[in-house]
Structure 1
Amino acid sequence: GDNKSSIGPTLARLVKSEGIRLSPDAHPEAGHFYRSDHFSFAKAGIPSVSIGGGTDYVGRPTAWGLQQAEDYTAHRYHQPSDEYRPDFDLRGAAQLAEIVYRLGVTIGNAEVAPTWNADAEFKSLRDASRKGL
């Protein structure tokens, strides 16, 4: 969803300042944006974006993150074993939380609310909701 609204460029600036590479959804066919918690906002015309940790990890081979994600999905996702483990390295999650916080502060302090891009399927919903304001 980072290419659907004005939130995308703001997010890109924030991740760049942290030395992180912004990348598209590795599996758009899975419809993550459309199955996310924030999709209710999008359906109401409110610009929103999907933010996740991705599969690139510092100090790990390129394919390592994808292998971890596939293993998690195949063996632990929505299973009794889907729980916190003490060996988790949460540095990336903390960095991502900081970026999401900064994104919220940046959007909240902006003089103009986020907008959908002209070709976004939710733009007409936003336009309709803003009529008369």
Structure 2
Amino acid sequence: MDKEKVSLLSAFVNFFLAVFKLVIGLLINSAALVADGIHSGVDIISSFGAYLGIKIAKKPVDERHPYGHYRAESLAGLFVTIFLAGSGIWIIYEALVNFFTRKEETFSPLAIALVVITIIVNELMARLKFYYGRREESLS
């Protein structure tokens, strides 16, 4: 597996996590789960951005780019960093708004199970990305 495939796999996994979180969040009326589903949607965009940067960086040297396209991967890494920082700020904002408005959430074993599954899947994906990122010296 190479870094392109890891980026696509990450987008694919995040797509399914987002769909499950959104559907279950809407079914059980959980604002927290819906917000987490939206966050997974943001992860899809960052994974796809990393994929595009890697794909462009692989292009060979041409007349307009005599040193190649290698900087595209660095730009993709910057894009992913800014995008994730922005989504993190948004999540903090939403958490503060929800904390001070005191919306009541109902306990759902299904929601807890989904969150536990999400934690496990995200940990596995992070380890996979770190492994291939270090192996191929990739910034994105």
Structure scoring higher RCO (CA < 8 A, sep ≥ 6) equals: 1
- TM-score normalized by structure 2? 0.31
Q: Which has more radius of gyration? A: 2
- TM-score normalized by structure 1? 0.33
More helix by share: 2
